[in-house]
Amino acid sequence: MLAEELYRPLAQKLVDAEMNRREVVRLTAEYPDLTVEEGYRIQDELIAIKQEQGHRVIALKMGFTSQAKMKQMNVHEPIYGSVFDYMNVEDGVLHLDELIHPKVEAEIAFILGSDLEGPGVTGAQALAATAYVVPALEIIDSRYENFHFTLPDVLADNTSSSRVFLGSALHRPDGMELDLVGVTLSINGQVKDLGAGAAVLGHPAHSVAMLANMLSRKGRKLRKGDMILTGGITGAHPLSEGDVVTGMWGGLGSIQFVVTR
């Protein structure tokens, strides 16, 4: 069991790694018995540190909700983390100088129109509670060396949260078949990856339901107005200076950004 006094310093170590843009050795190298629960407790400390610094959570995110992501990172269990205000990029430019080894992945985000409280929330209930959906390109940037981690490590590291580009148009989900929405992810005009909403647990609304159910175990619930990133439909792709990245979603529009130093 991880000693009580270690949660804060381990969270601080990951906050520092992000701020200094320096990768660190995964926590399980030193603490091989770290559990999933302890990983979430370090994440809670990390969120508290950021909030003390004046940052605000703008979205929750699910991870490892598709085969593409689970296979790529060799983690086979859905996870959740937080996205902060400073991570939201609105000028279409990703600055490599601020990051370690960023990768991009295509997702669908939900914005709730009513509260959603587990346990036992279904995909249909999650969809009924959804006011809008919006496409998202998520930038993940593990603070760990070579992007190598185990499940407890990536939980402690706030699920590699780094940046997010959101589509500019909100779409009502009514009558939309989000499982059948096709997505392409292109870099410099070349399609690097593609998929459909169904890649995410059969339907991205299942990811929102799962999050509500996971949070209920901690006495938490999702609230009206909350935004949820439902997880990568595509695998994550590394980025280089000069790249022009384009995500296109059937019926939801597109997002483009450029990568600079």
In terms of Cα–Cα distance, which of 145, 143, 147 is closest to 11?
143
β-strand partners of 108: 135
Cis peptide before 119 (omega within 30 of 0): yes
Complex with ligand OOG: residue 67 or 114, whichever CB lies closer: 67
Complex with Mg ion: residue 7 or 231, whichever CB lies closer: 231
Is 138 a residue that touches Mg ion (CB under 5 A)? Answer: yes
H runs (alpha helix) in the chain: 7-20, 27-30, 36-52, 67-73, 123-128, 151-156, 204-216
Nearest approach, Cβ of 250 to ligand OOG (angstroms)? 19
DSSP state of 235: P
Report 87-106 residues binding ligand OOG (CB under 6 A).
105
Is 140 a residue that touches ligand OOG (CB under 6 A)? Answer: yes
253-260 and 244-249 beta bridge pairing? antiparallel
Q: Which conformational region is residue 184 in: left (phi greater than 0), alpha (psi within -120 to 50 degrees), or beta?
A: beta
Complex with Mg ion: residue 2 or 154, whichever CB lies closer: 154
Nearest approach, Cβ of 58 to Mg ion (angstroms)? 15
Closest residue to ligand OOG, based on beta-carbon distance: 63
Is 252 a residue that touches ligand OOG (CB under 6 A)? Answer: no
Is 40 a residue that touches ligand OOG (CB under 6 A)? Answer: no
Complex with ligand OOG: residue 129 or 201, whichever CB lies closer: 201
Complex with ligand OOG: residue 70 or 176, whichever CB lies closer: 70
β-strand partners of 227: 111
Considering only 90-98, 129-137, 220-228, 232-240, which stretch makes contact with Mg ion by CB under 5 A? Answer: 232-240
In terms of Cα–Cα distance, which of 225, 99, 68, 73 is closest to 151?
73
Residues of this chain that interact with Mg ion (CB under 5 A) are 138, 232
